[in-house]
Structure 1
Amino acid sequence: MKTSQYSNYRAILLSLPYLIVFLSFPSPSQSAKPKCNAQDKKVLLQIKAALNITSWIPDIECCDWYGLECDRNTSRVISLAIFNNDISGQIPPAVGDLPYLQTLDMRKLPYLVGEIPPAISKLSQLTFLRLDWNNLSGPVPSFLSQLKNLYFLDLSFNKFSGSIPPSLSELPNLLALHLDRNKLTGNIPESFGNFPGNGKTPDLFLSHNMLTGPIPRSLGDLNFSGTIDLSRNRLEGDASFLFGKSKTVLFVDLSRNLFEFDLSKVEFPENMTNLDLNHNKIFGSLPEGLIKMQLQLLNVSYNKLCGQIPQGGNLQSFDSTAYFHNRCLCGAPLPPCKK
């Protein structure tokens, strides 16, 4: 994915919640409003009762309910978005009985608890699943791999535990996978080096968990176009194979792990903008190739690096905190190297 395409994709994801809400309101310019499908309304009333959604008024067409969008031609519910609400309970299995649902967005619901129900796997047309900033728990379910149309999956900021299901790599259209800020343990699945998505490797967010062991070597065979964030885990060993001159990854965060490799031998893609390696056991020197990069963020502090910081590019635009607490790194913006 080119940088411009990646930026457009990001913009779409950021604006989607607001777009969903906007589309849930009737437009004065549209004279023919969709009439609520009777079967969908029956299901929605079950969801309303399970979650105590007071804003859904039964006497009003369900296509006009807050957070809902219906297809104008079929009148079937295609989007359900609930966020910043005081609803409580668990995700009702009835959600799986909305067969035309494409977007399921339930976020920032602190009283939404329990596990993801298996009924979710029936939503064969689902492309966007976001369940972040809730209090969901239990395992990340392997049945999510049955949702073959998913391009976005976000389960971050919850209390999911256990290992990452290897089957998630079977999602052929996935563009972003967010499992960060949970309580996940075990290794990154070896299968994650086999995402089949037509050359579009998904952005990978696994930070703030308790993952252990080495990164699968298979990830080095992928060409990430956007983000790899593995920070704040207990991962170890070599991570240098994630980089390469021909790679197109823009943002890499490996900070606060136990990685140990020779940085001086690493070649970085020149289009990379963010590189965070702080708090590891990385040794060697900073490679000269860094001066060719237009880095917006760089942090290599708290490692075992030595030698002079290369002079040039924008490496001197970062303050000393980006480099300090290394074995013998020196040169601006750190104190001069001893002769």
Structure 2
Amino acid sequence: MTTITFFRLSFLLLFLSHAFSDLCNPQDKKVLLQIKKDLNNPYLLASWDPNTDCCDWYTINCDPKTHRINSLTIFSSTPDTNFSAQIPPSVGLLPYLETLEFHKLPKLTGPLPPAITKLTHLKFLRISWTNLSGPVPAFLSELTNLTFLDLSFNNLTGSIPGSLGNLENLDAIHLDRNHLTGSIPPSFGSFKSNPDIYLSHNNLSGTIPTSFKNLNSTVIDLSRNKLVGDASPVFGSALQRVDLSRNQFSFDLSKVEFAPSLTSLDLNHNKVYGNIPQVLTTLDLQFLNVSYNRLCGQIPVGGKLQNFDVYEYFHNKCLCGSPLPSCKN
């Protein structure tokens, strides 16, 4: 074998070895490189080298059988203030994407692009701790396979689109820590999958839709809003944790039907009245706070009600009994 022939054969073997080792779909790779460019080539994506297999790139996951990109998770363990960009429409060109995440990127700005609706296989969407602005897009309801939606800790404004109630596969929806206004859509009481609902730290107003009585969610957090009226519709049969604190709710606590599964109840800073019902002594409560309300009567003895601190009960109209001072005869 001549030297020239040897080198030709070696080059061919090297080429074939590289070709077979590069499992990433060429079109997916092209799209990813476009996404990197659209994001201004951030340091977080330094591993996205066009000369390497994109299935080995950081923040990327490929399906083990098809080798199509099914997960794109761009995040920083601490807030990355050098990552400055908007979410590019090019993310909508990864047709097999099931997970999309942008997290702890405070200089990620702008609205969520409509191109995201092209991701018909998307199940997990998290865009949190960013500077995402504009309204919560109604077009998210087109992502019918979503099981998890997290848009928390952003700068979203406007009202919550009722069309999100059409997402039939949701396990959880996080819209907390934004600047949302308006009322809670009645459609949120019609979720077929009974997702955990997090709407806290917004400027929501109005009453809780009566349709919430149809829910069997395990977690409902509506705290730190401007909600009013009767909150008893939230106490479904599967509820484990509920936080209604720092609103303006006004209802008779003694008439609420509590779920046996309830382990955490926070009602502090409202206008709740009546007395604390005896049934709470039968629950495995791990947390309770009813302070700053208008409750009266003796705190029932039994269960775990005496395990909580005085600060979980104080500043009520005429509540008494351990751990508060004894009731006057």
TM-score by length of 1: 0.87
Would you say the 8 A contact 1:34–1:72 is kept in 2?
no
Question: Shift of residue 34 of structure 1?
Answer: 5.7
Query: C-alpha distance in 2, partners of 1:164/1:228?
Result: 16
What amino acid sits opposite 2:50 in the alignment? P
Cα-to-partner distance string for 1:45-81 (whole Å, 9 max, x where unaligned): 1110111233122221111110001112222110001
Is 2:61 aligned against 1:65?
no
282-291 vs 81-90, which moves further: 81-90
> What is the match of residue 151 of structure 1?
147
Query: C-alpha distance in 1, partners of 2:260/2:23?
Result: 53
Cα-to-partner distance string for 1:67-116 (whole Å, 9 max, x where unaligned): 00111222211000111144210000000000000000110111111100
What amino acid sits opposite 1:125 in the alignment? H
> What is the match of residue 274 of structure 1?
264
> What is the match of residue 172 of structure 2?
176
Residue 78 to residue 292, structure 1, CA distance change in 2 (3 Å): same
What amino acid sits opposite 1:322 in the alignment? E
> What is the match of residue 33 of structure 2?
45
Query: C-alpha distance in 2, partners of 1:80/1:258?
Result: 41
Query: C-alpha distance in 2, partners of 1:325/1:189?
Result: 32
Would you say the 8 A contact 1:201–1:223 is kept in 2?
yes
What amino acid sits opposite 1:236 in the alignment? V
Q: Which runs of 5+ in 1 are unaligned?
A: 1-31
> What is the match of residue 109 of structure 1?
105
After superposing on structure 2, the runs of 4+ consecutive aligned residues of structure 1 that deviate more than 6 Å are none
Q: Which runs of 5+ in 2 are unaligned?
A: 1-19
Secondary structure, aligned partner of 2:319: strand
Secondary structure, aligned partner of 2:65: coil
Is 2:85 aligned against 1:93?
no
Would you say the 8 A contact 2:231–2:249 is kept in 1?
yes
Query: C-alpha distance in 2, partners of 1:72/1:241?
Result: 45
Would you say the 8 A contact 2:22–2:52 is kept in 1?
no
Structure 1 residue aligned with 2:303, among 297, 301, 313? 313
Query: C-alpha distance in 1, partners of 2:99/2:25?
Result: 17
Structure 2 residue aligned with 1:288, among 278, 284, 289? 278
Structure 2 residue aligned with 1:83, among 32, 50, 75? 75
Secondary structure, aligned partner of 2:156: strand
> What is the match of residue 119 of structure 1?
115
Would you say the 8 A contact 1:34–1:73 is kept in 2?
no
Cα-to-partner distance string for 1:14-56 (whole Å, 9 max, x where unaligned): xxxxxxxxxxxxxxxxxx8661211111111111011123312
What amino acid sits opposite 1:275 in the alignment? L
Secondary structure, aligned partner of 2:204: strand
Structure 1 residue aligned with 2:196, among 169, 179, 203? 203
What amino acid sits opposite 1:208 in the alignment? H
> What is the match of residue 220 of structure 1?
213
Would you say the 8 A contact 2:211–2:233 is kept in 1?
no
> What is the match of residue 131 of structure 1?
127
Between the aligned residues of both structures, percent identity stands at 62
* Pairwise CA RMSD: 1.1
* Count of residues paired in the alignment: 302
